[in-house]
Chain A
Amino acid sequence: LAKITQPISMDSYEGQEVNITCSHNNIATNDYITWYQQFPSQGPRFIIQGYKTKVTNEVASLFIPADRKSSTLSLPRVSLSDTAVYYCLVGDLGDGNYGQNFVFGPGTRLSVLP
């Protein structure tokens, strides 16, 4: 299993771009990188997933350098409602086989201030 390190907490202000970096030095060849967002008393919500280079969707971008030993989740122009815990997961999708290969760490607690 890939060992994952991400900051425990981050503060930002409304309207700023937020970048959360995740380190996964021992990522395996078949591993994908997936980010989830979780609000209190709710289940985690899928944000974005990628394998290499850059992936962008309507809510975020994911940057993955060539060596894939880290990845950065970028949230453009955050608002107060983006205050949440953000989890970086690394694992082999294996035919959609999300299971013990995908380990949640403690996540990054993002606080967006007015």
Chain B
Amino acid sequence: DAGVTQSPTHLIKTRGQQVTLRCSPKSGHDTVSWYQQALGQGPQFIFQYYEEEERQRGNFPDRFSGHQFPNYSSELNVNALLLGDSALYLCASSSRDSPLHFGNGTRLTVT
């Protein structure tokens, strides 16, 4: 049973560009959450998707957007990249009876 998978594993972008990160949830999970983790810090909640809609959102600007597909997979989009967006982006999936399961993240570097 595959866990949460994320792609790509690493990404280098230039300031001002746009990026799309992808996530496939653990089998049986219907909820996907995205987190940003800066070096040496705990993960910070970006937003959560359930039934293809954004259900909750953390304190992140509108440059951060997402999508959930009918198969529960999800994308995180970041527009107008800033140097400060460099971080590990984590996807986590969950369901009613299951705690959060995290993928190993996408390391985004903005130069």
Contact = CB atoms under 8 A, between A and B. Distances in A.
A63 interface: no
A44 B102 contact: yes
B24 to A, nearest CB: 13
Nearest to B98: A96
Contact of A106 (B42, B90, B105): B42
Interface residues of B, number: 32
Interface string A71-114: 00000000000000001000000011111101111110000000
Contacts of B98: 96
A45 interface: yes
Interface string B64-100: 0000000000000000000000001010101111111
B45 A100 contact: yes
Interface of A: 34, 36, 41-46, 49, 87, 95-100, 102-107
Nearest to B10: A41
Interface string B20-48: 00000000000101010000111111001
Contacts of A105: 42
Interface of B: 4, 31, 33, 35, 40-45, 48, 50, 55-58, 88, 90, 92, 94-105, 107
18 contacts: A36-B100, A36-B102, A41-B105, A43-B92, A43-B103, A44-B102, A46-B100, A46-B101, A96-B94, A96-B96, A97-B55, A98-B33, A98-B99, A99-B55, A100-B45, A100-B48, A100-B56, A104-B43
Contacts of A100: 45, 48, 56-58
